[in-house]
């Protein structure tokens, strides 16, 4: 069946343009890009084979490709399952979710990868790809079966928030992964300096009496990793960057032609350390929230393209693990559903235009992981999000689809809402527009 | 007389007038405590529970005595030995106790912010008796009362706080209180024991003790925890004493009438010279203990008044 979405503001992150027009979708793929002069009353359009959707001049963009989502299967299904994560993603305009392997047990063998692949296919309406651990049990000692896991569909390898401390082990992982063309993702934070930290060192952490880590811990570890990338030639993605101090090293590495990309979490673009206020544990993240200067530097780095991707870093935590003294409370926040409204804060603030935003939300992540989505061009999968940049609403965490409701945006005013989400040309979220 | 707070969680949340109110009332309780007949009925009929999740002899005794002198029914709970060990969460413990209708909860906890969390979940007045590295408001108030009585005022004084600032809740509360009352605060200690961003608190930071003590009115020493002495934060006990221990020679840099304070318990020969600590002309360490009881009486009395008012107004149901 053919589907035509017309009268939309098309955001093309690849070309960096935004224009009125429409899309014709056939067999789950974009078959034609229509300009605004299309006559929807023409003979062809009135035939029954074509389903028409009028977008009323709202924005239509490639669906979000969110790298680094935690779905708590296996191990902690009470926090999030593939079904609930899928619903949350659909409601958030995320059409491809790339999951983290920091489950219990870690996704470190082809068998576990097969289990989650099956669970994802059964229960979620969106595209799901999986990352695998880089070392067994994420223990930083022996590398996983990178070849087998890659054959089984792992799109990248990462130990998530655990840093492979042993430089020799990490070097071998990078070398081996490089031989297979596999992408290695790290969250660079010097582990000994960061140990036990619940905040970023500075006036606020000192006032609250919280154990804190210097922002320099990120730079330290990133510089180590980049030296090893230079040594091994590996493809490397530094995720969850959050500090201005780390950016010059990243810029240098890119200028020197290393195969390096970087990502930032939406929370580090929209919140700062002061949001923690009186020990609000929903704002406890890893890495911790940073200063306003760091936040601004990250926003600028996304705008300039130095930081390639924005992710939700969706980390579900149940109430019990958050209703604790700040130091004891678990880190992380859910983000699938709030990713786009939060990112639109940057657009409304005039910091980032929409094509650049979707470059970081969809085009760059898809390209880095070798997926063909994230683009508005003929032949690309019809994974799309239709949204209104202006609808105001106050977020109520109990209305989120995730099983866990730990969002830092609870009660906050947001501007911009997803109207409809399409995966493979099929509408999976939103009413008829 | 102003005192509007519902809980005493930290100096950060108090206005200067409220601090003055506590100190005025505490001054009166000092007189009461010096009589043979030490009983008041300010807290008669009220239940006070002291929950100490961390070892304490002095603070707990001080709170217990303060409550008893005001006529409250006081119960001490040593939380280390209780349900926490059985895996109960802090909030569940709080709710359990809350169901027994206490009026005043005095809480000490090893983690910063834990007392704030607890105060959100109960409907009685909560006093912070020290939480992690965050605050220890009654200590700062008793220090303020001691200074005020010794110096005749609590403003435009130059106060040096010396030692392990980074791990000290006493230092944080004192920095905030002395700042609110318009005093100059100097912090003296090795940089490894100085918290990050401390200069933004409106204080002067010194790592040379002699320079830091130059011309100060008050010298406040802090306890150095044993576990920090073994090379992790400072090279050794003797090097620390040499550079940061208070002795007569270093004290000579301060004003001639400068007083010496210490929140206790002291490590004689580590942070302070034993003879100096006992010098009744300089040291007000024993007065600090005395003021502690009076300040805690005043704080609990004021919170109880607010509690009674709000219960009449039905706010606390």
Interchain pair A210, B135: CB under 8 A: no
Interchain pair A203, B200: CB under 8 A: yes
- Mean pLDDT estimate for chain B: 92
CA dihedral B191, B195, B199, B200 (to 10 degrees): 160
Rounded CA gap, B213 and B211, in Å?
Answer: 6
Is the C-alpha dihedral spanning A394, A396, A400, A406 positive or negative? Answer: positive
Rounded CA gap, A68 and A84, in Å?
Answer: 16
Active site residue B59: yes
A240 backbone φψ class: left, alpha, beta (φ>0; ψ -120 to 50): left
Rounded CA gap, A402 and A337, in Å?
Answer: 8
Which is the catalytic residue, given B59, B93, B138, B146? B59
CB atoms within 10 A of CB A356: 20
Q: Residue A23 falls within a domain, yes or no? A: no
Tokens of B2: 């102003």
Q: Is A269:A346 a contact under the CB 8 Å cutoff?
A: yes
Is B54's pLDDT higher than 50? yes
Q: Residue A227 falls within a domain, yes or no? A: yes
- The closest of A209, A332, A331 to B116, measured between CA atoms, is A209
Q: Residue A75 falls within a domain, yes or no? A: yes
Mutation to test the B interface, candidates A207, A273, A326, A328, most B Cβ within 10 Å? A207
Q: Residue A52 falls within a domain, yes or no? A: no
Helix intervals (H) in A283-330: 292-304, 319-322
Element holding A343 (H helix, E strand): helix A339-348
Q: What does the pLDDT read at residue B317?
A: 40
CB atoms within 10 A of CB A141: 12
Contacts of B80 (CB under 8 A, 6+ apart): B52, B53, B54, B55
Q: What CATH number corresponds to the domain at position A126? A: 3.20.20.140
List of chain A residues with pLDDT < 50: 433
SS3 B209: helix
Q: What does the pLDDT read at residue A433?
A: 45
Q: What is the mean pLDDT of residues B121-142?
A: 96
Closest Cα in chain A, distance from residue B122 (Å)? 14
- Model ipTM over 0.90: no
Is B170's pLDDT higher than 60? yes
Closest Cα in chain B, distance from residue A88 (Å)? 30
Element holding B220 (H helix, E strand): strand B218-221
Rounded CA gap, B144 and A358, in Å?
Answer: 57
Q: pLDDT tens digit string along B176-229?
A: 999 999 999 999 999 999 999 998 999 999 999 999 999 999 999 999 877 766
Give the model's confidence band at B312: pLDDT under 50 very low, under 70 low, under 90 confident, else very high: confident
Rounded CA gap, B258 and B216, in Å?
Answer: 7
- In this structure, what are the phi and psi dihedrals at residue A188, rounded to the nearest 5 degrees? -70, 115
Cis peptide bond upstream of A287, omega within 30? yes
A196-201 contact pairs (CB < 8 A, 24+): A196/A327, A197/A288, A198/A284, A198/A288, A198/A326, A198/A327, A199/A273, A199/A276, A199/A288, A199/A289, A200/A273, A200/A287, A200/A288, A200/A289, A200/A290, A200/A291, A200/A294, A201/B195, A201/B196, A201/B197
Q: pLDDT tens digit string along A162-191?
A: 999 999 999 999 999 999 999 999 999 999
Q: What does the pLDDT read at residue B241?
A: 93
Count the alpha carbons within 13 Å of A77 in the hemisphere toward its beta carbon: 9
pLDDT cut 70: percent of chain B above it:
94
Q: Is B108:B54 a contact under the CB 8 Å cutoff?
A: yes
Active site residue B136: yes
Is B316's pLDDT higher than 60? no
Q: Residue A376 falls within a domain, yes or no? A: no
A207 touches chain B (CB under 8 A): yes
- Identify any residues that bridge with A34 across adjacent strands, giving them in sequence order: A22
Rounded CA gap, A220 and B136, in Å?
Answer: 35
Rounded CA gap, A404 and A351, in Å?
Answer: 31
Q: Is A297:A337 a contact under the CB 8 Å cutoff?
A: no
Active site residue B2: no
Q: Residue A381 falls within a domain, yes or no? A: no
Is the C-alpha dihedral spanning A279, A282, A286, A288 positive or negative? Answer: negative
A202 touches chain B (CB under 8 A): yes
Q: Using a CB-CB distance cutoff of 8 angstroms, which residues of chain B are in contact with residue A214? A: 196
- The closest of B304, B266, B305, B265 to B106, measured between CA atoms, is B304
Q: What is the mean pLDDT of residues B118-141?
A: 95
CA dihedral A244, A249, A250, A252 (to 10 degrees): 130
- Return the number of CB contacts < 8 Å for A and B: 74
What range defines the domain where residue A254 resides? 63-369
pTM attached to this predicted model: 0.91
DSSP characters over A86-116: HHHHHHHTEEEEEE-S-SSS-S-SHHHHHHH
Q: Residue A73 falls within a domain, yes or no? A: yes
- Using a 10 angstrom Cβ sphere, with 0-12 exposed, 13-18 middle and 19 or more buried, the burial of residue A350 is exposed
Rounded CA gap, A31 and A45, in Å?
Answer: 15
Q: Using a CB-CB distance cutoff of 8 angstroms, which residues of chain B are in contact with residue A279? A: 112-113, 116-117
Rounded CA gap, B3 and B13, in Å?
Answer: 11
Q: Residue A38 falls within a domain, yes or no? A: no
Rounded CA gap, A151 and B154, in Å?
Answer: 73
Total count of domains within chain A: 1
- In this structure, what are the phi and psi dihedrals at residue A358, rounded to the nearest 5 degrees? -75, -20
Helix intervals (H) in B160-284: 169-180, 209-213, 237-244, 248-251, 274-278
């Amino acid at each position: 069946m053919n589907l035509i979405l017309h009268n939309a503001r098309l955001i093309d992150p690849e070309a960096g343009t935004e224009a009125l027009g429409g899309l014709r979708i056939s067999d789950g793929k974009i078959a034609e890009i229509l300009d605004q002069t299309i006559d929807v009353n023409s003979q062809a359009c009135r035939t029954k084979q074509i389903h028409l959707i009028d977008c009323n001049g709202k924005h239509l963009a490639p669906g979000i490709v969110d790298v680094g989502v935690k779905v708590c299967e296996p191990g902690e299904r009470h926090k999030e399952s593939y079904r609930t994560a899928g619903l949350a993603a659909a409601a958030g305009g995320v059409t491809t979710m790339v999951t983290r392997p920091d489950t219990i047990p870690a996704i470190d063998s082809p068998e576990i990868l097969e289990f989650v692949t099956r669970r994802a296919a059964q229960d979620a309406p969106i595209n799901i790809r999986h990352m695998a651990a880089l070392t067994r049990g994420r223990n930083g000692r022996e590398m996983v079966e990178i070849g087998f896991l890659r054959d089984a569909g792992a799109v990248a390898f990462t130990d998530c928030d655990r840093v492979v401390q042993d430089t020799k082990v990490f070097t071998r992982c990078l070398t081996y992964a490089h031989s297979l063309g596999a992408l290695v993702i790290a969250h660079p934070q010097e582990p000994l300096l960061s140990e036990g930290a619940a905040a970023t060192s500075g006036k606020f952490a000192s006032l609250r009496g919280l154990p804190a880590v210097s922002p320099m811990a990120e730079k330290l570890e990133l510089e180590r990793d980049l030296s090893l990338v230079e040594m091994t030639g590996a493809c490397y993605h530094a995720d969850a960057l959050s500090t201005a101090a780390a950016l010059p090293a990243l810029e240098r590495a890119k200028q020197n032609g290393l195969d390096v990309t970087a990502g930032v979490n939406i929370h580090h673009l929209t919140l700062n350390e002061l949001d923690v206020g009186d020990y609000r544990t929903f704002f406890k993240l890893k890495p911790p929230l940073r200063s306003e200067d760091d936040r601004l530097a990250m926003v600028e780095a996304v705008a300039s393209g130095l930081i390639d991707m924005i992710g939700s870093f969706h980390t579900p935590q149940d109430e019990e693990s958050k209703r604790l003294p700040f130091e004891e409370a678990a880190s992380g926040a859910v983000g699938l559903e709030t990713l786009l409204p939060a990112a639109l804060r940057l657009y409304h603030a005039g910091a980032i235009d929409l094509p650049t935003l979707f470059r970081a939300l969809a085009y760059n992540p898809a390209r880095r992981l070798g997926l063909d989505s994230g683009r508005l061009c003929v032949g690309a999968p019809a994974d799309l999000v239709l949204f209104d940049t202006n609808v105001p609403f106050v977020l109520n965490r109990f209305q989120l689809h995730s099983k866990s409701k730990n969002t830092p945006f609870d009660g906050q005013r947001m501007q911009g809402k997803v109207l409809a989400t399409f995966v493979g040309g099929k509408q999976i979220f939103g009413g008829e527009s | 007389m102003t005192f509007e707070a519902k809980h005493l969680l930290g100096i950060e949340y108090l206005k200067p007038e409220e601090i003055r109110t506590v100190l005025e009332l505490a001054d009166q309780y000092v007189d009461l405590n010096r009589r043979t007949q030490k009983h008041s009925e300010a807290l008669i009929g009220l239940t006070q529970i002291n929950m100490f999740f961390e070892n304490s002899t002095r603070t707990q005794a001080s709170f217990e005595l303060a409550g008893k002198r005001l006529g409250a029914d006081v119960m001490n709970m040593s939380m280390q030995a209780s349900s926490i060990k059985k895996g109960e969460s802090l909030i569940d413990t709080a709710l359990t106790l809350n169901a027994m209708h206490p009026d005043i909860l005095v809480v000490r906890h090893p983690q910063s912010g834990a007392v704030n969390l607890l105060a959100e979940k109960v409907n009685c007045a909560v006093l912070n008796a020290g939480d992690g590295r965050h605050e220890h408001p009654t200590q700062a108030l008793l220090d303020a009362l001691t200074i005020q009585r010794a110096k005749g005022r609590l403003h435009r004084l130059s106060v040096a706080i010396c030692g392990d600032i980074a791990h000290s809740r006493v230092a944080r509360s004192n920095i905030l209180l002395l700042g609110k009352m318009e005093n100059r605060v100097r912090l003296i200690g090795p940089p490894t024991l100085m918290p990050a961003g401390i200069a933004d608190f409106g204080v002067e930071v010194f790592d040379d003790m002699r320079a830091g003590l130059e011309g100060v009115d008050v010298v406040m020493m802090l306890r150095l925890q044993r576990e920090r002495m073994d090379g992790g934060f400072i090279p050794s006990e003797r090097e620390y004493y040499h550079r940061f221990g208070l002795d007569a020679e270093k004290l000579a840099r301060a004003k001639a009438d400068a007083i010496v304070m210490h929140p206790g318990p002291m490590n004689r020969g580590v942070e302070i010279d034993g003879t100096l600590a006992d010098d009744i002309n300089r040291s007000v360490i024993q007065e600090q203990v005395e003021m502690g009881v009076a300040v805690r009486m005043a704080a609990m009395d004021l919170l109880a008044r607010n509690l009674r008012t709000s219960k009449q107004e039905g706010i606390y149901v």
